[in-house]
Amino acid sequence: MSRIGKKPVSIPAGVEVKVDGNIITFKKDKLTKELDTKGNVAAEVKGSFLNFTAKDDSRQSSAFWGTYRALSNNIIIGLTTGYEKNLEINGVGYKAMVKGKILELKLGFSHDINFDIPEGITIVGDKSGTKLSIKGADKQQVGQITAEIRSFRPPEPYKGKGVKYSDETIIRKAGKTGK
């Protein structure tokens, strides 16, 4: 039995959930998200709750049961409150600026990095250009975009220069010792 799968997903006011065979459709205002269960679990809407049941008693079915419950809960949270990740840029001359649908990063290379901001993601930077806030309705997409931006210049352990998550701690190494 899946402990997570047993819990019903609460559907808040303003979010419309419809189950059509293997596809669950979540809708709020203009945003629409779909989740395809591929026939691994059965879902039904009872009042203001979305319930999942496993197809059989196998271990694989139990894993899918909890997974699809968690994915649907993440979609509902994304539609109502959204997801946000924050990045910090450390280093002399390192900064980021949002220009329309392009994020321009200056990270100590001989050239600027122009990152195209995908649809459904908003990136907001502060005036100094050292802090970025990535927001969106899709948890996976927000995490992926944040990881891609961080991968341009990951933080190094000696001076801590680079792009890091705001809640990340960099374990510093001691440099060379002089005579």
Residues 153 and 94 in one domain: yes
Q: In one letter, which amino acid is 90?
A: N
Residue 178 clears pLDDT 60, i.e. is over it? no
Q: How far is CA 26 from CA 106, 140, 160, in A?
A: 39, 16, 42
SS (H, E, C) 96-141: EEEECCEEEEECCCCCCEEEECCCCEEEEECCCCCEEEEEECCHHH
Spell out the residues 6+ positions from residue 2 whose beta carbon is closer than 8 angstroms to its own.
54, 62, 63, 65, 66, 69
| β pairing state of 9-10 and 49-54 | antiparallel
Question: Rounded distance, CA 92 to CA 94, Å?
Answer: 6
Residues 66 and 126 in one domain: no
pLDDT in tens, 66-75: 999 999 999 9
Residue 3 clears pLDDT 90, i.e. is over it? no
Domain boundary among the residues 46, 64, 80 is at: 80
Q: Is residue 97 part of a domain?
A: yes
Instruction: Supply the CATH number for residue 70's domain.
Output: 3.90.930.12
Range of the domain at 154: 83-165
Residue 179 clears pLDDT 70, i.e. is over it? no
Q: Is residue 170 part of a domain?
A: no
Question: Rounded distance, CA 96 to CA 89, Å?
Answer: 8
Handedness of CA 135, 140, 143, 147 (dihedral sign): negative
Q: Is residue 133 part of a domain?
A: yes
pLDDT in tens, 52-101: 998 888 888 888 999 999 999 999 999 999 999 999 999 999 999 999 99
Residue 159: both structure tokens together: 């001076």
pLDDT in tens, 118-145: 999 999 999 999 999 999 999 999 999 9
Q: Is residue 11 part of a domain?
A: yes
Residues 95 and 56 in one domain: no
Domain boundary among the residues 80, 113, 146 is at: 80
Question: Rounded distance, CA 3 to CA 63, Å?
Answer: 10
pLDDT in tens, 13-52: 999 999 998 999 999 988 899 999 988 899 999 999 999 9
Residues 55 and 114 in one domain: no
Residues 65 and 92 in one domain: no
Q: Is residue 157 part of a domain?
A: yes
